Amino acid sequence: MLSILLAVHTVLSLVLIVLILIQRGKGADIGAAFGSGASQTVFGAQGAASFLTRTTAVLAALFFVSSLALAYLYGQVAERRSVTEMVPGMTMPAGDGVLPSGAGEGGAVDMPSLPVMPEDSTGN
């Protein structure tokens, strides 16, 4: 189900991109008003623009619906895991959640130790 919806979503997005690129901008209508061949279209002088606009609006609505459906379905499928479970080899100890200096798997800690700062000779 999820893969079919994802394929439909991809096809919708590609068709929507093509339809948007086919349409003329608002400035092209001024040239059509003075008889620049707009009456020779398949849908009539104004029919193509309204047909493409309506088709784009319907496909955009379908695209938004499929986006919401995909978001909902992926939210249901997603496995909730802790960030520390995603890092290989890192485990959280039982207790307060702070790694002791020598704890970890096999006594080794994945993080480097902090350098020791020398004592200040001035006494501060």
Number of helices and strands (H, E) in the chain? 4, 0
- Residue 57 in any domain: the answer is yes
- Residue 111 in any domain: the answer is no
Q: What is the DSSP letter of 24?
A: -
- Residue 53 in any domain: the answer is yes
Provide the domain count of the chain.
1
**pLDDT digit string (tens) for the chain, length 124 residues:** 889 999 999 999 999 999 999 887 766 555 555 655 544 555 555 556 688 889 999 999 999 999 999 999 888 876 766 776 666 665 655 555 555 555 555 555 566 677 777 776 665 5
Question: If you write DSSP's letter for every residue of 51-70 in order, what string do you get?
Answer: HHHHHHHHHHHHHHHHHHHH
Instruction: State pTM to two decimals.
Output: 0.49
Task: Look up the domain containing 53 and give its range.
Answer: 47-76
